[in-house]
Amino acid sequence: MILHIDMDAFYASVEQRENPSLRGKALVVGGAAAGRGVVAAASYEARRFGVYSAMPMKTALARCPDLVVVPTQMELYAAVSKQIREIFHRFTPLVEPLSLDEAFLDVTGTQALFGSSAEIGAQIQRTIADELHLDASVGVAPNKFIAKVASAYVKPRGFTVVTPEDLHSFLDPLPVDKIWGVGRRAEARLGELGIFRVADLRQTDLERLKQAIGNASAEHLHALAWGRDDRAVVPDREAKSISHETTFPADLTDEEVLRAILLRLTEQVARRLRRHDRYCSTVTLKVRFSDFQTTARSVTLATASNSTQVLWDTARDTLLKRIPITQPVRLVGIGVSSLGDSPARQLGLFDDTSTRDTQVDQTTDLILERFGKGAIRRGTTHHS
């Protein structure tokens, strides 16, 4: 069985934990005075006003004039994320982080030690609450897709178990946009076919679906509607690629905001590489526009790297030069591939032999691991 564990309003909850006077208040992380910047995270109190992550701060302040804005502390969140991962590893070595605040766990092989998958999920949720004073939502299911849907089924502090026997009864009533890959355009197209719930999609003839939305999309969506997903949980050390992406609640047009979000994603990818002493040779940037056209561009590095600065320079240049932002953006993501255990550096005659960026990253990581919150911050980190 697979667990998907998703921390509830992670950045905002950490800030409220660190400063109890912020508890119960509409709070966002990110932005700046005068309303510039972007919301990195919003507390549940802020969400009641329609404030969400990736929203321009000026919009958030307009919706909630009493909003409390605190600056991002990525080092703090990364340190807490490491503590959460350590809890995960007490119960299984098969942990696949998706970001600082969520991960898949395969507990199939450890149930003899710790009890059923549901009991393990409950123990993890309770341990996070007891030791870290943070809330997590847990989904337990036969595969990744259903586990992720289950973890979001009830929030915050959700706990949803989907067994193979009740798989269809769980999925069927859900709106079709709960299926991965169904955005607004796909939802509208499926609606024209009379498909509004997962049950409708599952019961639709596959050939008819192929004629309407194409072979690949039809097969993908149809399989998920049946609850089929055979992807394994792959720890970072064994992964062939690592990526982070985010879908915005409202389409974005502000390039400054997009760069800030892309930088945050890049930092997370780079930290995951360094955590397992891995290096990438290929960097891929993914952008999905408001019309759901998705564009991806890949760049091969001259030297394999796990440097935040190298990855950021590559991603930023790709965004600005190779993917023109001609319409609002719905999703942005960065991925790295062609992973190896060494930088495999082959110097040319005029190459710079300095490894300054890598040394900066390694020193920064060591300081953060030892001293935690706010001990050091990258000069390029966007914290507005």
CA distance 73 to 76: 5
Residue 351, both tokens? 């190459």
Is residue 6 part of an annotated ligand binding site?
A: yes
Q: Looking at 15, 45, 102, 267, which residue is catalytic?
A: 102
Report the DSSP beta bridge partners of residue 188: none
| 90-105 burial code (b ≥16 CB/10 A, e <16) | ebbebbbbbbbbbbbb
CA distance 331 to 309: 22
Is residue 66 part of an annotated ligand binding site?
A: no
CA distance 150 to 139: 4
Asked if 187 is an active-site residue, the reply is no
Residue ranges of the annotated binding site are 6, 101
Residue ranges of the annotated binding site for Mg(2+) are 6, 101
Q: What are the catalytic residues?
A: 102
